[in-house]
Structure formats: structure tokens, C-alpha cells
Structure 1
Amino acid sequence: MSVLRDYAAAVSQPTLSFSSTAPRYDEVVDPDGTLRPAWQGLASLALGLTRDELERVDGEIARFLADDGVSYARAGDDLQPWQLDPMPFVLDAAGWARLDVGLAQRAELLNALLADLYGPQVVLRERIVPAAVILGHAGFVRAMARPAGDSLPPDLLLSATDLGRDAAGEWHVLADRVQAPSGLGYAAENRRVISQVLPDLLDEGTLHRMDPYFAALRAALIAAAPEGASAPRIVVLSPGPLSETAFDQAFIANALGFPLVQGSDLVVRDGAVWMKPAGWPQRAPRERVDVILRRVDAEWCDPLELRSGSRLGVAGLAEAVRRGRVRVVNGLGAGVLENPALLPYLPAVCERLLGEQLRLPSVPSWWLGDPDSRAEVLPRLSAGDPTLEVRHIDDPRRRLGTADAELLARVDREPHRFAAVEQLPLSQVPVWDAGGAASALPVTLRGFAIRFGSTYRPLVGGLATVRSAQDGAPRTKDVWVLKSDEAEADQGIVDVATLPTTRSDPTLAPRALSDLFWTGRYAERAEDLLRLVIATQAALDQPGAHRATSAGESVRVLLAALHSLAGTRATDPEQEFRSLLLDAARPGSAAHSIARLRDAMEGVRDQLSGDTWRVFANIERAVRALRSAPRPHRTAESAGRMLASMLSLYGVTANMIRDPGWHMMEAGRYLERGLQLTALLSSALSASRGPRTDREVLESLLLSAESVVTHRRRYRGAMRAADVAELLLLDRGNPRSLAFSLQTLRGHLAAMPASTGSSRAERLLDQLETELAEIEVLEMTAVVGGRRERLVEGLEGVRAQLEQLSDAIGDLHFEAGPPAVSMTELSLVELMGARA
């Protein structure tokens, strides 16, 4: 049975109302039960979507989103998987036309208001807007206020507007998002996924592609550079990988081709903003930043002038902006426009600044600092009117809800800090649920607009979000705006002006180099431990391994090797293996290394292919399978699937450009390979335990080091510890050997800009390679008193030197000097001492 037919039948019968007794406008179905015009062109395919088909599509959507690592977090919550409903939000050309004009006008109005508030302040002087609404708002950045004609006021290049329909189908603005508007990346990802899972339905409707809009945004950012910047450098400033919209930020950076940076990656010097070079502060910066697309709220952007405790911003950024040496998009101080207390005054502001009537009305709102508004609203609040919601003007996204005694007392004490907002009976859309049907839920639409050329251009489309009481990431919909004519230009943009082609090799900040270095290290650490788990499980699975003394001894040797790398949590081998694969809180475990690997890669997401995140999606599937099947020996299968996923990472990173970031990642990989190998050999070969046990241990070692085939081709006759040690330590032709790792590491370090050929890191590597070349394997592996003490001592010395080498690499290529300390963390005594 068609899910959409069932939905249409239910909507047209009042006795089967879905979510509320209040009348709602339905986005798909007319009151008479027929499909709305936007859906009629899709009817032949849309009405054929059965429950089985939608269940398949829903599963594919979840898989695609997991493969891309798409996540979202509400403030204060952990990251959650992004939720996308298979049924799109569809508008026809006629229905979109009014929105298009209204969104463009609203962006122009907000830009004009922003320029006025930080310049002549006409709307305040003429009392069109009460001064307390602006000057009492935390988003008003006084440091950016300038007299008329003095420098450039903050401006808007990108705006977002949250919209909703009332019961009559009329659009209203619910909120403006201009501080650091998010969602464009999520909207593009929604379209990419839906185009793969419902290609026939997508082809049926002639939609506006989104690619031209991103090209226009890129051109707009380049054009926003300060005068005199011949080859502008643009960066996307992020709070970091733990940000609630980290995926969106990385998507935008990737789509536009601009570096994704954090505040610690930038420095203000000589009144301008620069990328920190490797080895900062000993090395002077050379790459100046001209435009910053910020995703950090203004108050956190400059610890000198704005929020002193911030580590997310750049000290001195506000002064660089005032000097006109860098353009911040959107301008510092734009957050004042998100004040819900502004909404009731915007019609008058529009008439004064633009000379026009406001096209898109805001949702009915009242500033409670106004006595007349308070007299109108307080009786309704006291009576518990559920259609009114109180919001703090400084934090409008945190819903205070309907009024109770405590909230009314707060309003009475500080009425100017609160606004009341009418809650519309929002329009509803069908949402696929796990029960195999479509339920009706209220929906909002986020529209976007950019200043492209001399005017604002709305995105033909947007991001639809279903409103529900469920926790976690919101459920969203792809927004389809149908063309009136197939020949109509996508996004109404005929062509983006051709820009001069210049080659750019952006500098990677020390923080990014560090993240990539640890990406290599954690990837190798996880792979090596997974191989050892598989080899140990294979030894344990041999016939009689649990009974025969010699077989049991070889397994104990391998378990001891695992202990040397990750400690011990369980005496039962099976439980120990499961812990190593599942316990991300256990340092040294494969799960811990994989979790830290993902953290490191999230910090440089703009440097990585989208295929990277399929590695973690596949690992997560293997982990879920292992958790749900506690049968013995399932660990080997799951470890094998996890290892296969880790190995696929090689293929992804092999296609990276050979820049310093790639070289640093590979340097981390080969340095970690040396550390893991020396620890494994030191533990497993420390003693001789009899011919059979030694042979089994050596075979497991070769399996763990992926050198079984190489050993068979290199050596004939009985397997000896000396031969295995030579193959894994000295054989430069074996990619898994220590000698090969050091040789490869040398090449990667030499390719780094800060390397001189005589740096401490390179000198330590020289010394280590020299000492390794002088090793006599037969002497080193000789057994004295049942032990190979010379081998153990030699390998421990190599490990210590590798750790020193790692520190030297960090000192040279990452940021040097003491870590940044917040001014609020310094005591008065420390400050006085620093000044002395």
C-alpha cells in the first residue's frame, strides 16, 4: 500500500488528526485530500512508494550518512548521527517566488540595520528602536562601533532565516541567524544523499542544483577581501572538531576550497592576521589572511578586547578588523541582529532604512521592556497561555518555555532582558517512522542568502527541520524547489564571473601538522594491535592449544606481548580480546587508538577525502556486530573486519596531495611502526622457550608484522630468531622493517619546510640509522642463560631514541613555546612576575 496515499487519506479526515487539535497547513495534501500542486508532478512515482521501499531507502540513507561521518550535537550534548527523512520538502516555482523576494529583502534590511547600529545609529536617535534593545544586548560589540564615515562597520555577507507557515499557509520569520549561520553544508549533504537513494524521484522533478550557489559564495568571499589583496587568502574559522556543527563547517571549507582553521592557527602581527608557520614563534609568518569566514561567535573571537577567557579566537583580531587589514564574515557584532526583541520593530526599521514595506512578517513578538507590550503580554503569561513563549534576548535559542512563577519573577526584575514570542501552529509534513507509516509533524524551513555582486541572492532551496520532542539530532528533509521551465538557470545564476587563476599552496598551521602526525601514529598503532590480536587468536585456535603445554606457552608469550602494548584487563583471553576491540577508554587498546585517530582526523577534516569516514562507519558496524554476538571466537572475525577498514585508509590517504601535511602524517605512521615493532620484538623474543614454542612464536610474530611471505622467500630451512630479527630490523627491502621505516621517515622529514638537513630531529635520525647499521644480529640474538638480554637492551635503546625523535619533530614542526594560558587563569602574582 502506498504510504503517501495512506497519509493523504488520514490528513483529509479530521477524526484522524496526527499531532494536535489545532488546525495546521499541510505541505503535501490539500484539505480535500488531493496532492498540492508542487507534488502533482511527482505523483506517479511518489504515490508508488510503499512501506517496504521507504524502509529500504531509510536504511540506505542511514548508511550513506554514516559513511560520510555526518553528525550534529545540540549545545551541551554529545555528537549524534545526522537524521534525514526520505520524503523531501517540495515547493513549486510559484510558491517559492514570494519567499525569494522576501529573503532577499530581509538580508538587505539586516545589513542596512547593522551598518546603522555600528555607524550613525539613526534608528536609535529617532527612537524607532529603543536604545535598551540594542545597547543592552550581549551581541552588541561596542569595540566595533565607529562614527559615520570612519572605517567600515560590520556587514553581512551570509544570512540565514528560519521560517514557518501558519494555519492559513502564510510564511512568517521565526528567527534570524546571522552571527555564524550554519546549515548550508547539511543542506548540500541532504541533497547528495537523496540523489543516490531516490534518483528516479529526483529526475521526475526538475530541481535547482546547488553547485552554482557554492560557486557564488566562493566568489563573494574572494570579492570581500580588503582593497589591495591581489590574491586573497580566505580561511574558515572553526571552534574545533567538538563544535555542534563541525561537519557543516568542514563541508563548507571543502566545498569552497579554503582551509579550515582554529583560533590557535592564526596570529595578529603588525596589525594583520597571519597563518602561524611550523615552529612558531621562532619562525616568522609569511602567509597573510585577508578574509575570515567565521563560525565562532563574536564574543569569543578576541581575548584581548572581547571575552578574556576565550581560547577560540585570535588576540588582536578586533584591531585588525578596525584597521581594515582583514574582513571578517559575518562582521564582529552581527549577533545583535539575532535579538528576538528586535522583531516587533523591524517593519518600521524597513520603512525608515529601505523605504519599503516588510515583505516577510515576523512571528508576533513583544519586547517586555516596553510598558505597553508588558501590559498586553503579562496577563496572558500569568494565565498560562500555551501559545506564548518567553525568551531571554541574549540567548534566544534556549527556550524558557511558558511562564511559571519563577520566570515571571525574573521578568518583573529585569523586563528589558526578555521577549515574548507567539508560537504558530506550524505547517505539517509527512515523516517516515519506524512503525512503517508516515506521521505528521510540524516543520520549519531555514533559508539562506548571500551578497553576490550588488544584491542578495537567496539559495533556491534550504534546510527543512521537523520539530519533535525527541532528543538527539533533529530530523531534516531535503528541500526541493521545482523549476518553472527546464531551461531556467540553476539558482537563477547564469554564470559566476571568471576569476584570475592563481596557484595557491596554503600553509598548514602547526596544530594541523600535529593532528596529521598523530593521525599517522594512531592509524599504525591500531593496525599493529589488530594484527597481534588476530595472530594471538589464531594461535589460541590451534588444535590442542588449550591442553598442550608447549602450545599454551606460545599463546602466553603472545598475550604477554599484548600486555606490553596495552596492559591487561582480563585473565580470560576471549574477554581480553573483546576489551581490546571494544573499550575505547582503555589506553593502548585498538578501540582507544581508533577513537583518538578519529579525533585527530576531525581536526583536519578539510584536508581529507570524504571517503575517509567510511573507514569509521565500517569499523562501527564491526563493533556493533561484536557487541550483539557474544559468542567465543567472534573476535577474530570482527578484528579482521576492523583491520580491513584500517587498511582501506591507506588507499584513501594515498590520493592526498604530497604537501607537508601528508608528509607529516606518513612520518607519524613510520615512527609509530618502529615503536610498535621494537616493543613487540622485545617482549616476544626476550627468552628462548624451546624449539616448538620458539617456532610458533616466530610464526605469530611474522604474521603480526605482515612478513610471513617475505620470510619464506628470503630464508630456507628452519626458522631462527636471528633471521626473523634481521628481516624485521635490518632488511631495507621489507616495508615492515625498522630500517625501511627509518629510511622512509627520513624522506618525509626532509620534505618538511622547516627541515634544514641538520635539525635536531634529522641528527637523531642519523644517529639511529648509524647504530642500526652496526648491529650484528647473531650476537644480538644470542641466548645466555635462557634469555636474549642484549636484544632487549638494544631494542629498549631504540625505543628511547624513537621517543626522543618524536619530541624533536614536535619541537621543530609544531608550535613551540609554552601553551596558551587564559588571562583569567593567571593570578595577580603571576602577572606581576611576568611584567617584572
Structure 2
Amino acid sequence: MGYGSGQVYDEMVNGQGRLRPHWQTFMSTLGPLESGQMAERWEEARRLLHQNGVTYNIYGDPNGMERPWPLDMMPLLLPAHEWKAIESGLIQRASLLNAILTDLYGPQTLTRYGRLPPSVIHADPGFRRAVHGIRVPNDMHLHFYAADLARAPDGRWWVLSDRTQAPSGSGYALENRAVIAKVLPDSFRHCQVERLTGFFDTFKETLLSIALRAAGSGGTPRVVLMTPGPYNETYFEHVYLARYLGITLVEGADLTVRDRQVFLKTLSGLERVDVVLRRLDADFADPLELRADSSLGVAGLIEAVRAGNVVMANALGSGLMESMAMKSSLPTLCRHLLGEELRLPGVASWWCGNDAERAYVIDHLDGLVVKPAFPSLSFEPIFGAQLSAGERSTLIDRIKRRPWYFVAQEQMALSTAPVWQDGRLQPRPLVLRVFVCATPSGGYAVMPGGLTRVSSESGRLVVSMQSGGGSKDTWILAARRADVASTQPRPALATEPTASGLRLSANDLPSRVADGLYWLGRYAERAEGVLRLLRATQSRLIDSNMPGATAQLRPLLDLLFSQGMIPAEMARITESGANRGLREALHAAVVDPDHPNSLRAQVLRLHRIAYSVRDRLSMDMWRVVSAIDRQSQPPKGRMDAAGLLLRLDDVMITLAAFSGMEQESMTRGAGWRFLDIGRRVERALHMVGLMRGMRVADLDRQEEPVQAATLSVLLELGESVMTYRARHLTSVQRTTVLDLLLGEEANPRALAFQLAVLDRHMRALPNQGVGTGTDPTGGALAIVAAARNSLERSEAMASSDALRVLLDTLAMSLPDVSNFLAHAYFSHAFARSA
């Protein structure tokens, strides 16, 4: 096998290099490693993760934040008897931490009677004085909890840290399971792996039971998952969990507090919220009573909690239990509060705010790891054994100046597990994150699995996804045959009925989401318009023998200049004089992300807005969005003109796929309607922009060949060449071309078609928007009606002056459709420039 584990505890092999008993079945199902099957399965896992769009945001990365989720195909295996002990210890630990929170945010007997040093609490920025004295329902502060575990060389598991603020990783554990169960189906089946779905069903029932009590008799319970937004490192997980649990994903701007109650802003008005599953740090939750500079939270949220009108899960202030300064007191507190010995101990810790403990740290620094005492004091762990004499002296001075900022822990040699790398198995240090949720009866349940993280290098002492680490699925081997009914997560529907006949969340569309879908439609259409223009130009530069290529290049260059895609001097170049500068300008207009009007810039806008409403897109639609992004990325090397044209063709096909899925797969609800409104507004503006940019109103002053070339280009960019040829066997004529592209309601590319669809959509929108007007769509409808009337009555088909007036009027009035819709439905959302 060629696998060496070194001197630490290895999860797969013992000290003699033999497989541990619980690994034997798994390894026997893999077959010979030399067969190449492992490499194929590893590639399959990567492909599935890419298809599913599983990402993790890396802060401060010069290559961009969003990164593919790193998953190793070798799971971590734990036998049932070992897991039983871990499970028991976690349930006890969750109960203990919850009891401590109940006391510290209540009577504070622990500090009053010396069970816990008061300085540990009052020095911690995570102690939320604003919520002290607030009684939470059933004294339940911790609804969801995670702990990071590590195994010592003697085989015992120890707790490295507790995650009580907004624990992350459970959604990634679900996705890891879904992928590995597909990649290693025989191994998964033969190993009798415990399933994860029951844990999430329990958590969903817990949230619903809390919401039912909060809503009261006659009320419909509503639970939302509150996210900091798409720039958070685990936003993918927020989307994934909201879908899986069947609850609405919201940002702070989606919520408002009225009369000490929390409401969700929807298109049909305000809907009361009963439970907020919080993935936002408490510090940012309420700018009135916590951080005043926070734009992520909801003003007045704490007052709503104080009034008992909303339940936060986890409770605000629960992050206090992440304090490293409190770890050394947990065994004593467990005996006092629970009357039990702590079953799952933490790594030995010393808080430097205590004189005796600080002295010990300074004297034994070489064998310790120095960490921040509180989560808000962010700095990387400092390994005493790696410090030079000068660095050691500097650290000691820092500790003496602000002792309460520092905690030291015993340095532990982490156990290793096999990862598949460079065509073979290699040992890597690991940390196991396990998850605990509250049950409807008030107890706790443990996920039979977890998120295993491994370091990027064998000698690396810190295991972190932000620093390039990877992840594993975690298999708990059942003592009896596991229920095989569900081998992968079953996404819940947002309107799935519960046993009580009530619904966990309604199907109302948050106003922010409606705004995002509207702009998704606009950016998708804008990208297509830019692409068609670039493709038409590029094809004529490549093939000068194309009929009319030389004459048609002139209006195309004019149009590129009018839309800010090439500089003025490039627009004056003829085909025969086309030089390297023009070709480079066109190349930049395709792939340069810093060019504000390039195709790549448009696709980045499309991808960014799609990411923000990802929970409203099907998995297939998201895969298409990802394909558009991938195909439009700048090439690694220089791409010739022919290759660039092929790239444009590929992106066009994928954009068409997105449009097709939008039309054929989305339910005809308000979300689809706003997306299509955005597309229709953008297409109408694009057609007007084409005619103005090519100076179609002045064509009667041009010679016939120039007119023919311009009109031919206009038909191509309007995707109407085939329709025109089928109707008119003669050469292109101004009147017939304008009739087809302006007045033909049966042509989906015509201006009249866009206006007719806009009229239907806006009449179908909810009557009660979030604006102040009694008729939220009245202003937008008036603009559309005026435009349709002008088009029907206009003599634009025959008169150049009338066409010029019509185009100028539409160019000024159509953008106001966005303004009226924003006022009526998106007024709280972040304003975007067109």
C-alpha cells in the first residue's frame, strides 16, 4: 500500500502498519489501488462538486474569493462503540454550555459565588450586555452547536474548541455525503454507514415546534435563515441549508421591526417572522443596541427579542461560550451545574488573565500554543517551540501588557487520516467538527457524522479551510444495518406541510429577491446583446469574403464605439486597414474583466447577482450560470481570432440554455415574472440603443449600399434575419426592417413584443407593493402604455424625424420603468446602476 503514518496516531493503520478492524471492509471494497480506479473516482468527485456549485469563500485571495470546495474521496471511519462515547460527551457538553449561558445572562450565580472569575466574562467583548436579563423560551440558548475534536497519540478524543455563535459546516457535511455516496456506492453500502437525514429532520421539527409556540393559536409559523449575504465565507451552506430545511433565506435588509415584532418584507406586504435561524454573528445583528456601523442586521431586533415576539436560534450572546478563557473552568462547572464529571475533556488550557496561569504559560512556553482568549481577538496560533529567542521575548512582553487577551493550550500531535494525493494515499493531520442540535423535547441530538478537515501538508500544524486545507466525509459505522432508504439528502420544499397541517414557511417572495431576479434578467439579456455585437464584428474581421463584410463593418464599429467598447480611433478603421490595435481592443472587449463594458464584465455581473439569489434557482439553472462564467473567463494563453469566435459561439449557446430553462422550468410566479420583466426592459433598451448607435434615423441621407449594410447588421443583431428572408425575397428595405424590429408584436425580438409582455407582467404583479402609492405599478404601466401608443401611432417607419423622436423618447422613458418598480417593490434594496 505504500502508506506511512509516522509517529502519531493514525486513523487507518495501527503502530505496526496493519489496518484497524473497522477499516478492513472499506479497503476491501476499493480493490487494488494500482488499477487507476481511485484516480477516476477522485475526478468524478471533483466533477460532482463543480456541477453542484459547491464553493467556499477565501478572504483576501488575490485570485478572487470563491473557491471550489476541496473534498478528499477517502472518508474518515469511526466504529459505533467509539462514536457512542463521543455522542454522550457532546450531549453533556451542549447541556453544560447552555446551562452556563442561562446563568450568565440571568442571575450570574457562577460569578457571584466564585465558581467563575468575573474577569473572564467582563473582559470578553463577546458578552452582550444588551441581552442580559432577557429570558429565552425554555432557557434554550443553544439550538445548534458544534465542537472541534482532535485525537491525541494515546487514542483519546479531546475538544479543541466550541462553536456556539453560528456554527458552520453541517451543510458541507451533507454535500460531502451526497458526493461520496455516489462516488463510492459499494463501499458506502457494505460499510453500513449511519445516515444524516434524521438529524436534520429533528432540527427542522425543533424549529417548527418553537415557531408554533411563538405564533400562538391561529397563527402560521414562519422560520427564516438569516445570512450575512453572498460575501460570507460559507454562503453556499446558507443556501443549501435553507433549501434542505424548507425555510426562507433572508438578509438583514429583508427584515424590519414594527411594534416590537419582526416582519419579512414581501411583495404582498409584511409577514411576521417567529424564529430566526441565525448565521450572522450577534455583534452585527442590531445596529441600535450592538454595532452601530452594521448594515447586516435589523434595527430593533433585540427589542423584539426582549418582548418575546421572536426567537433567535442561537440566542444572541451565545457566542460567549466560544471564549478560550473559560475552558479550564468547564470541569468544575460541569460538576456544579450537572452533578457529573466532564465526559469529553478539553485540551489543557491556561488563561493569562489569571496570575498563576500566566506564570505557568511564561515558564512553559516552549510546549504550548498561544491563542486569542476571545474570538474577536483574531490572530493566528503561535507555537512556542517555533519561536526564536527574540520572538519569544516579544510574545512574553505582549502577554504581560494585555494578559487577558491570551490563552495557552497544550500542543497536541493531531492524529492523521489517509488522503488521496499524487496518485497514492498519504497521511494528513485532521480535526473533526461534530454537530449537535436541540430536540423538540428540550434535549440534544448529535449528527452521526461530521465535517472532517485535513491540513494541506503533512507537517502543517494548523488545520483550516482558509489556509488551504481539505475536507472529508465522516462515516459512523452502524452497529446494526443502517436504514438504506435515503443515501443522500432529501431537499425539503419551501411549502412542505407539517404533521400539524401548518407550513414551515410561506411562498412569499422577499423584495430583495425580486430585485435580484429582475437584475438577473437584465444582466442575462445585456450579456447576450454584447455577445451578438462582438460576434458579428469578429466574424467579419476573420472572413473578409463574407458577402457585404466590408460595408457592414462600418456600422458595427460605430455601434461598438457608441456602447463604450472600443476607443474612437478604432471606430474609424476600415476592414482593409484593420490592425493589431483593433484586434486587441476587440479581444479586451470580450475577456477583460476590468473593461467595464466587456462581455466578461457583463458575465461577472450576471454571476454575482445569480449567486445572491441562488436559493431561487434550480440546480440545473445554477450549473448553466456556472458554465457561462467558466466559458467567458480569460484564456490562459493568447487566443487567436478564430478561437475567440468559437468561444463566443460557446457562450451564446449556454446563454440560450439559461433563457430556455428560465422559460420552460421556472414556475410562473412572481419570481419568474420579475426575471422576465428585467429581460424585457433590457431587450427593449437594447433595440433602441442599436438603432440610435447605428444612426438608423439618418439612413435616408446615406447611399443605398450603406443603408443595406446597416439594415442587414440590424437584422442580425436582432436575431431576425431568417424571419425577414422568409417574408421578403427582395433586398432589405428600411420600412420593412423597422416594421419587423419595432412594430411586430409576434416577433419576440421586436420592441412592440417587449412592451406587450411588460404590460401583461405588470398587471399581474401584487397590488400591494412596499412603496407608498396605492397602485404600485401605475407609473411603470403608464410609461409602457405611452410607449405602445407612440409606437402604434408613429410614422417612424416612413419618417426619419418621427423615428428620431420616437427613439429619443423611448431612451429617456424606458429606464424609468426600473425606477417605478424599485419604488414600489424594491425600495429597501441596494440601488444598482443600470
* Unaligned stretches of 5+ residues in structure 2: 385-390, 571-580, 770-774
Measure the CA separation in 1 of the matches of 2:822 and 2:145.
40
1:735 to 729, 748, 760: 748
Give the secondary-structure state (helix, strand or coil) at the position aligned to 1:528: helix
Aligned-residue offset at 1:620: 4.1
Q: What does 1:274-353 align with in structure 2 at a 5 Å threshold?
A: 274-278=263-267, 285-353=269-337
Measure the CA separation in 2 of the matches of 1:553 and 1:139.
70
Measure the CA separation in 2 of the matches of 1:150 and 1:57.
48
Which residue number in structure 2 is paired with residue 811 of structure 1? Answer: 823
Q: What letter matches 1:234 in structure 2?
A: V
Measure the CA separation in 2 of the matches of 1:157 and 1:732.
56
Measure the CA separation in 1 of the matches of 2:472 and 2:776.
55
Which residue number in structure 1 is paired with residue 426 of structure 2? Answer: 439
Measure the CA separation in 2 of the matches of 1:612 and 1:489.
30
Which residue number in structure 2 is paired with residue 41 of structure 1? Answer: 25
Give the secondary-structure state (helix, strand or coil) at the position aligned to 1:799: helix
Preserved contact between residue 607 and residue 629 of structure 2 (Cα < 8 Å): no
Which residue number in structure 1 is paired with residue 793 of structure 2? Answer: 774
Which residue number in structure 2 is paired with residue 830 of structure 1? Answer: none
Aligned-residue offset at 1:362: 0.4
Measure the CA separation in 1 of the matches of 2:162 and 2:95.
13
1:562 to 560, 563, 567: 560
Deviates more, 1:656-665 or 1:731-740: 656-665
Measure the CA separation in 1 of the matches of 2:215 and 2:745.
53
1:791 to 790, 797, 803: 803
Measure the CA separation in 1 of the matches of 2:78 and 2:828.
55
Which residue number in structure 2 is paired with residue 704 of structure 1? Answer: 717
2:677 to 638, 645, 667: 667
Q: What does 1:233-272 align with in structure 2 at a 5 Å threshold?
A: 233-272=222-261
Aligned-residue offset at 1:790: 4.6
1:581 to 590, 611, 615: 590
Q: What letter matches 1:652 in structure 2?
A: M
Q: What letter matches 1:638 in structure 2?
A: R
Preserved contact between residue 339 and residue 396 of structure 1 (Cα < 8 Å): no
2:668 to 633, 658, 661: 658
Give the secondary-structure state (helix, strand or coil) at the position aligned to 1:276: strand
Deviates more, 1:198-207 or 1:674-683: 198-207
Which residue number in structure 1 is paired with residue 397 of structure 2? Answer: 409
Which residue number in structure 1 is paired with residue 203 of structure 2? Answer: 217
Which residue number in structure 1 is paired with residue 158 of structure 2? Answer: 172
User: Do structure 1's residue 676 and structure 2's residue 686 form an aligned pair?
Assistant: yes
Q: What letter matches 2:563 in structure 1?
A: L
Which residue number in structure 1 is paired with residue 772 of structure 2? Answer: none
Q: What does 1:516-595 align with in structure 2 at a 5 Å threshold?
A: 516-544=517-545, 551-568=549-566, 571=570, 572-595=581-604
Aligned-residue offset at 1:696: 4.3
TM-score (norm 1): 0.88
Q: What letter matches 2:785 in structure 1?
A: D
* Offset from partner CA, 1:259-299 (integer Å, 9 cap, x none): 11111111111111011245xxxx9x531000001111111
User: Do structure 1's residue 499 and structure 2's residue 494 form an aligned pair?
Assistant: no
Q: What letter matches 1:552 in structure 2?
A: T
Preserved contact between residue 377 and residue 405 of structure 2 (Cα < 8 Å): no
Which residue number in structure 2 is paired with residue 102 of structure 1? Answer: 89
User: Do structure 1's residue 750 and structure 2's residue 763 form an aligned pair?
Assistant: yes
Give the secondary-structure state (helix, strand or coil) at the position aligned to 2:537: helix
Q: How has the CA–CA distance of structure 1 residues 501 and 92 changed in structure 2, closer, same or farther, with 3 Å as cutoff?
A: same
Aligned-residue offset at 1:490: 8.4
1:486 to 474, 477, 481: 481
Deviates more, 1:214-223 or 1:684-693: 684-693
2:186 to 195, 200, 205: 200
Aligned-residue offset at 1:176: 0.6
User: Do structure 1's residue 82 and structure 2's residue 78 form an aligned pair?
Assistant: no
Measure the CA separation in 1 of the matches of 2:361 and 2:687.
72
Measure the CA separation in 1 of the matches of 2:137 and 2:626.
49
1:6 to 2, 7, 15: 2
Measure the CA separation in 1 of the matches of 2:342 and 2:255.
41
Aligned-residue offset at 1:526: 0.5
Give the secondary-structure state (helix, strand or coil) at the position aligned to 2:114: coil
* Offset from partner CA, 1:592-621 (integer Å, 9 cap, x none): 111111221222222121223312432344
Q: How has the CA–CA distance of structure 1 residues 57 and 577 changed in structure 2, closer, same or farther, with 3 Å as cutoff?
A: farther
* Offset from partner CA, 1:598-655 (integer Å, 9 cap, x none): 2212222221212233124323442458443522221111111112222222243342
Q: What letter matches 2:797 in structure 1?
A: L
Measure the CA separation in 1 of the matches of 2:707 and 2:467.
53
Preserved contact between residue 531 and residue 652 of structure 2 (Cα < 8 Å): yes
RMSD: 2.8
Measure the CA separation in 1 of the matches of 2:816 and 2:711.
29
Which residue number in structure 2 is paired with residue 715 of structure 1? Answer: 728
Aligned-residue offset at 1:75: 4.6
Aligned-residue offset at 1:535: 2.1
Aligned-residue offset at 1:76: 4.5
Preserved contact between residue 542 and residue 641 of structure 2 (Cα < 8 Å): no
Measure the CA separation in 2 of the matches of 1:818 and 1:514.
9
Measure the CA separation in 2 of the matches of 1:664 and 1:62.
34
Measure the CA separation in 2 of the matches of 1:635 and 1:443.
45
TM-score (norm 2): 0.88
Q: What letter matches 1:588 in structure 2?
A: N
Give the secondary-structure state (helix, strand or coil) at the position aligned to 2:204: helix
Q: How has the CA–CA distance of structure 1 residues 195 and 577 changed in structure 2, closer, same or farther, with 3 Å as cutoff?
A: farther
Give the secondary-structure state (helix, strand or coil) at the position aligned to 2:797: helix
Which residue number in structure 2 is paired with residue 829 of structure 1? Answer: none
Give the secondary-structure state (helix, strand or coil) at the position aligned to 2:270: coil
Give the secondary-structure state (helix, strand or coil) at the position aligned to 1:308: coil
Measure the CA separation in 2 of the matches of 1:397 and 1:64.
35
Give the secondary-structure state (helix, strand or coil) at the position aligned to 2:345: coil
Preserved contact between residue 118 and residue 154 of structure 1 (Cα < 8 Å): no
Aligned-residue offset at 1:778: 3.4
* Unaligned stretches of 5+ residues in structure 1: 12-16, 18-22, 781-787, 821-836
Runs of 4+ with >6 A deviation:
149-152, 489-492, 817-820
* Offset from partner CA, 1:144-174 (integer Å, 9 cap, x none): 1118x79775611100111110111210101
Aligned-residue offset at 1:551: 3.1
Aligned-residue offset at 1:431: 1.9
Deviates more, 1:163-172 or 1:611-620: 611-620
* Offset from partner CA, 1:534-578 (integer Å, 9 cap, x none): 222223333446xx9x63231132122223234316944432332
Identity %: 36
Q: How has the CA–CA distance of structure 1 residues 819 and 657 changed in structure 2, closer, same or farther, with 3 Å as cutoff?
A: closer
Deviates more, 1:560-569 or 1:719-728: 560-569
Preserved contact between residue 146 and residue 163 of structure 2 (Cα < 8 Å): yes
Aligned-residue offset at 1:84: 0.8
* Offset from partner CA, 1:346-397 (integer Å, 9 cap, x none): 111111111111111101111111122112111122xxx1542232324366
Measure the CA separation in 2 of the matches of 1:586 and 1:625.
12
Q: What does 1:335-374 align with in structure 2 at a 5 Å threshold?
A: 335-374=319-358
Q: How has the CA–CA distance of structure 1 residues 801 and 198 changed in structure 2, closer, same or farther, with 3 Å as cutoff?
A: same
Which residue number in structure 2 is paired with residue 145 of structure 1? Answer: 132
Q: How has the CA–CA distance of structure 1 residues 482 and 533 changed in structure 2, closer, same or farther, with 3 Å as cutoff?
A: same
Deviates more, 1:422-431 or 1:466-475: 466-475
